[in-house]
Structure 1
Amino acid sequence: MYTAEPIYKDDIIESCPVILIPETEKDRIHKSTLHDYYFVWPAGGIAIALGYGSLYNHNKDPNAEIIFDLDEHEIVIQAIKDIEPGDEVLIDYTGGVRDHELWF
């Protein structure tokens, strides 16, 4: 995801409704193409974000963060630093846990 306009620190980039999937279905999701696009939902289960929410790439030095809105069933993508036009919006898939191994 790249930006065409400047985005400033603390700007909301996107609010994404999610489809919540019970933990019991996680194995089924792992065997599908959705494996690379879900979030672990803090209240349990997993979530598929609508909009562009599941398409942001990972970086250990992200310029945006994921905020889980449990009440609204949304994932909010918020800038944590200024992002220039043409820059990619990047999130940290590990939530800041630096020793967490990713699957890629």
Structure 2
Amino acid sequence: MLVVRDTEIKGRGIFADQDFDQGEIIEISPVIVIPKQQVKLIGKTVLCNYYFDWHGESCAIALGFASLFNHSYRPNAFYRKKFDEQVIEIIAHKYILQGQEITVNYNGKVDDSTPIWFDAVE
């Protein structure tokens, strides 16, 4: 189970309300796929910070908690896009204790230190 709480420096975040084992699926979020013809429009909305790049040049808004996980270059979880099923899975990269914030690397790989579009805080 997951809960949304305020963090000290990142605004709101997603926290574990139970322990998760490494490799355990934390969340399966269905997505709304935004066609490539409409992707530029999303940049003019508040959703511009919450979408995932999707198959081809489209993007997707994840329902559930998936669009609300904070970024970390040392994440304890990662995401996997399942294009055919139109879902995003959030999976524990390491053991996560109840009460810990769950973070993912927005670059898509846990060890990718490529700068993102904002100044990341750890």
Return the alpha-carbon distance in structure 2 between the equivalents of residues 55 and 45 of structure 1.
20
Q: TM-score, normalised by structure 1?
A: 0.93
User: Are positions 1:88 and 2:101 aligned together?
Assistant: yes
Q: TM-score, normalised by structure 2?
A: 0.80
What are the ranges of 5 or more consecutive residues in structure 2 without an aligned counterpart? 1-13
Deviations, residues 24-77 of structure 1 (Å, cap 9, x unaligned): 211110010000100001343000000111000000011111101111100000
| Higher RCO (C-alpha 8 Å, min separation 6) | 1
Alignment of structure 1 residues 1-104 onto 2, 5 Å: 1-96=14-109, 97-99=112-114, 101-104=115-118
- Contact residue 43 and residue 70 of structure 1 kept, 8 A: no
What are the ranges of 5 or more consecutive residues in structure 1 without an aligned counterpart? none
Query: Which AA in structure 2 matches 1:103?
Result: W
Percent identity of paired positions between Structure 1 and Structure 2: 39
Question: Alignment length, in residue pairs?
Answer: 103
